[in-house]
Amino acid sequence: MADIIFVVLLVLHIGFIVVWAGAATLFSMIISPSLGRITPAARAEFVTATLPRYIRFIVASATGSILFGVLLFGYIFRSSTLAPSSSGLPLVEAGAALGLIAYIVAIGVVYPTANKLVKTIKQMPATEADQGEIAQLQKRMRVGASSAAGILALTLILMVVGASI
């Protein structure tokens, strides 16, 4: 029978990763490109109503995945029967490092840019000059979310391969 603590930590870690990667992909492929195609007034309403909650959701899922990943990593190495092989360990460690980089991108780029975008939209009237700054912030968020999603895809591959061998 499987170790219940291991299974719970694994399910929570993978669940949070799936949510984080899905939210980052949804934002970078659907939401952000669509914002450039709607009127400034509709964009302002959507961004101020939705973006703060959406970004908090991404931060919470990213933090949960890192937290449960660290707990899982510690628990696995406490038990010698669950630890990956010596050939798989470097891949798991590389995946962990990439996951941390994706987290830093999410917290260091996407989160503050989203907050600045919401603040800018709330403070400025919808003029042409303001739209340039808003478009620049949207692009930065899209690049950050796309980068995090891509890094998470590489992380997933490394972790699965590392745990398999």
pTM of the predicted model, to two decimals? Answer: 0.87
Distance CA 59, CA 68 (A): 14
Distance CA 69, CA 103 (A): 12
Domain count for the chain:
1
Residue 81 DSSP code: T
**What is the per-residue pLDDT for 147?**
95
Reading the block at residue 65, the tokens are 């995945």
CATH number for the domain that contains residue 159: 1.20.120
**What is the per-residue pLDDT for 26?**
93
Distance CA 101, CA 150 (A): 11
**What is the per-residue pLDDT for 127?**
57
**What is the per-residue pLDDT for 122?**
86
**What is the per-residue pLDDT for 62?**
96
Q: With a cut of 70, which residues of the chain have pLDDT below it?
A: 1-2, 80, 125-130
- Burial (CB < 10 A; 0-12, 13-18, 19+), residue 113, is buried
**Residue 44 to residues 41, 125, 141, 150, Cα–Cα distance (Å):** 5, 10, 16, 28
**What is the per-residue pLDDT for 109?**
95
**What is the per-residue pLDDT for 125?**
66
Distance CA 157, CA 152 (A): 9
- Burial (CB < 10 A; 0-12, 13-18, 19+), residue 40, is middle
Residue-number span of the structural domain to which 81 is assigned: 4-164
**What is the per-residue pLDDT for 83?**
72
Output the CA torsion sign for 54, 57, 22, 148: positive
* Distance from the Cα of residue 84 to its chain's centroid: 25
Type of residue at 101 = I
